[in-house]
Structure 1
Amino acid sequence: MIDISNAQLDPYRGFHYFHEDLNIYLKVALSSALLLVRHSAEPQDSDKLHDLIKLAHPSWNTPPVRDMSIDIQRRTHASISAFALISVFSAFDDFLIGTKAELHRFYSATESSRHIGMNKATPTIIEETNINDGEENDDDDDDSEERLRAFYAKNGWDGRSIDPILKVVRYFRLCRNCIAHRNGRASRALVKHSSDADVHKLVSNLLDKASNGLRKYVINEDVFIEPTQAILCSHLLRKIALDANKKLLGTLGFDGFLRSVAHHTMFSETIVRSDAYKTPEAVLNFALTDRYRATMSNREECIQEMKRLGLWKKYMSEFERKYGTGYLSEY
């Protein structure tokens, strides 16, 4: 029997590994910034920053700054976290697009797309808002929380499991919008949401004692996110992604899961690859157990299931076409 109860579909895998990488790279970046300060911020270290910039790239031979001021330290710190926050939501948006694509393929294959109105694999809940000056309009508000709830409801998924997370995620999304669209200045929407006592109560149980709480903003105040908060945001979005992954598995069922694996490992024009490449059986078995985390009692099960679904002949044919000509994408 093939057990897919703990399987990871491709959209979730992508966000999961993004989160793991972000956790590493953000800490490395902040540690590097600290080392830079120690090396070039003391009075006797004047011109050291200037010299380091010249060493960093051959075209930077006339650096615009000579020493590490307090302002530069603060802005460097803030920019690292800001870049992380922008990246987090970009990766999560990509997860949502991938999830809808999985649903689109599934409903198309089962001729059920008319029941949910899916016509193409486009993002369901992410849509950029129009940004104004923050003085005369309801600026930079964000309805992604409502859209995520609607996405769950549209597919018959119970959203109560993610409800406690959404208010905190909204805080970070509004911060992201201000950084991306308002030159890092707080919008009215962020000012209002950052004053919500429930948000601060929810996040107080999520941050460790060494971390600062979420900031409350006034209009046009500079937005600043602590590095630990950027990682927290990614962690919360991963929890949503994991929940959606489980619900997506429930929607697809075993047959839909196997069709998804076949699509990504052989039927797509951009296939994923692994260390298994000699036979189609090896490719499929290794993908199921290593990439997608399914468990099997023997190696013949998945082949029989593929035959039952009428997919095995096509899988073998695509293997000959793609692997036989050296057509492989990066894993």
Structure 2
Amino acid sequence: MKTVFTTLFLFLLLSALAVGGYGFVQYEQFTKQKVSESAPEIFEIKKGSNIRRVAADLEAQSIIKPAWQFQLLAKITKQENKIKAGEFAIEPGMGPQDLLDRFTSGKTISYNTTIVEGFTFKELAKKLQADPNLVKTLTPDDYKYENIMAKIGSDEKNPEGWFFPDTYNYPRGTTDVDFLKRSHKAMKQFLQAEWEKRDSVVPLKNPYEALILASIVEKETGVPEERPLIAQVFQNRIRKGMMLQTDPTVIYGMGDRFKGNIRKSDLRRPTPYNTYTRHGLTPTPISTPSAEAIQAVMHPEPSKALYFVARGDGTSHFTNTYRDHRKAVIKYQLRGNAKAYQGDK
């Protein structure tokens, strides 16, 4: 009887060793697997997925299998509860551990959208509505100027100028509201930080006035290096109580009526944005100002200039008196024809 038990014990022991050895060989083979050229390039882990779901999806898509061994690897390496949601790039030659490391790193595939400096909110809204990478939750009615800021949880009343121009990277699943909130927060933080560092001579009452003037500087600047000087011209005019008299504000006030040219009647039409008929700043920004335009307003270049005129090559000619400004207009815009000058009429 004792011999029978001994024999049975040895048999079971050998069987266990054989099974264990076979399992070890299988596991070793599993860890040496490589993702094939035919595997999907993108693998998505949805929110709430656990390691079992991830392993099953990997097997179903023929990326790595069997699923149970991937789960075992995650358990052994203590990564089973560290999986992140998102889209991940899958590359040929990656092994099971490479995949686990990527899934727990949070290095998901990102998409990007750029807010261009000088955009109006209307142009920004149109771009976001057509962006294929953002999840659309806002309706055309939500994008209306009177509605949008409440939709993103802001106390501001008008969206113009309140979204920081930059290229934003984000993962799949980002909504239009998420995107606008992020950009709005970036603008508020940047504007406040720059306001606190402004030159003491800046004749503006608050950060919003600086945002408005920066939006005008943005639209008036032909070459970047002239922003601080253009900002100074407008601030000099504000100090003297002069009208800003800048064409981009007229164009903004014309809205869809603007067809490429400003007529004399447009300069005389008293819209809230016509700085040829009204003193002071416009009611709101007229565009999305760049960081450089905001900084130019906070740190203008010292000058007594009150006027500038485009030379035709992207740069401007700056003058301190109306008489010199008249000469510059005749020279650079009227090709020397003084009779064509109508600024005094």
Q: Shorter-chain TM-score category?
A: under 0.3
Which structure has more strand as a fraction of its residues?
2
Greater RCO structure (CA 8 Å; 6+ sep): 1
Q: Which has the larger radius of gyration?
A: 2
Which structure has more helix as a fraction of its residues?
1
Q: TM-score, normalised by structure 2?
A: 0.21
